[in-house]
Amino acid sequence: MNDKLKILVKMQKCDDKISELKVLTEKLPEQLSTLKSNKASAEEALANVKSEIETNKMEQQRRDLKIRTNKDQYGKYQNQLLTIETNKEYKALNKEVSHLEQLNLTLEDEIVVLMEESEKLSENQVQAEKVLQIAQAELKANEKKLEAEIEEVKTEMEEYRNKRKELARGLPISLVKKYAALIKNRNSKAIVFNINSSCGGCGFNIRPQVMVDLHEGEKIVYCESCSRILVFNNED
């Protein structure tokens, strides 16, 4: 294998590693984002439950106040009944008394329902607090680790890019441009190896004469189908 091909193979290995690291540059931030999102969602869920509990409490208080107000009015009506002289007035006022009694019964029933809902909401709050505690613990345990890994990956990628750049200095600029175009347009695979007389990139059958050139390894050979640079075998 001539020196140019050896350099190209080494450059491809750098790009292979860069491609692997690119996956991590997406995966690791996603993991961190998920942990942060889980914590935020748990905080929101707990806040919503607490808001529902507060609303429930206020609704109970509102009904309690209404019941007390009705009872005060009920007492006034009862006193008025003692002073009424006509039967018509007595019936009308007695109807108001009955209405207040029925209204308070309804309000008391509603309070019972709210109290039952309050118990359920309290259970939901306990569960929401547990979920939040787990989310907080997971984020605390992994946040700095993931951030460090992200920085390590970025540093490693930069190292491979610099290494590839140094290797490229040993090649003609036209060949470097050809290699870069293939990396861009051929799924980051510019250099591929012969696999059973077929292109390792697209599977195109390599003609016998081309196989001879590959075996000799003295010139740059391109796949007649995908235009990738063909190499006979991987010589580490």
Residue-wise pLDDT tens digits, 178-232:
999 999 999 999 999 999 999 999 999 999 999 999 998 889 999 999 999 999 9
Cα Rg of the chain (Å, integer): 40
Return the DSSP state at 66.
Answer: H
Helices (H), 169-207: 173-185
Nearest-angstrom CA–CA distance, 7 and 73: 98
Q: Is the pLDDT of residue 235 over 70?
A: no
pLDDT confidence bin for 170, thresholds 50/70/90 = very high
CB neighbours (10 Å) of residue 81? 14
> How far is residue 68 from each of residues 54, 111, 173, measured CA to CA in Å?
21, 13, 92
Nearest-angstrom CA–CA distance, 13 and 19: 10
Residue 152: the pLDDT is 95
Query: For residue 209, how far is the Cα from the chain centroid?
Result: 53
Cα maximum dimension of the chain: 128
pLDDT confidence bin for 234, thresholds 50/70/90 = low
Which two structure tokens, joined as six digits, stand for 105? 């019964």
pTM: 0.66
Residue with tokens 């009944």: 81
Residue 96: the pLDDT is 86
Amino acid at 131: V
